[in-house]
Amino acid sequence: MDSAHFLAEGQEPTLTNYAHTRVNEEAFVGTLDYIFCSRGEKEGERDDAKDKDTDIDGVKRRQHWKNVRTLSTTMEPVEQSSGPFPNEIEPSDHILLSVELELV
């Protein structure tokens, strides 16, 4: 499976979680959440597939979607975020991820 954010942006989100815990004084900042997309079927697995062929890891596959764009704001530097979360802007300690995909 492939990360939809990585395919669209060329990198993973800067952070999806920014939280304080009772155990540690420093906040945890990192990427814990992902949107994964299947890589499709190997060529010949389904002869009636009319989807776009792509070569991933040296294996020709038929893709059923294409990544249009990310809709999340998680690519900004940590210093520009409003964390730690939850707070008055972000109601959860995890930031919502969203990606627009197009079926082909």
Per-residue model confidence as pLDDT tens digits over 7-54: 888 888 888 898 888 888 888 888 999 988 877 665 555 544 444 455
The pTM for the full model equals: 0.66
Tokens of 62: 């038929």
pLDDT of residue 32: 92
Of 69 and 43, the structure prediction assigns the larger pLDDT to: 69
The beta-carbon contacts of 6-10 under 8 Å, at least 24 apart in sequence, are 7/37, 7/67, 8/67, 8/68, 8/69, 8/70, 8/99, 9/70, 9/75
Looking up tokens 């990310």 gives 70
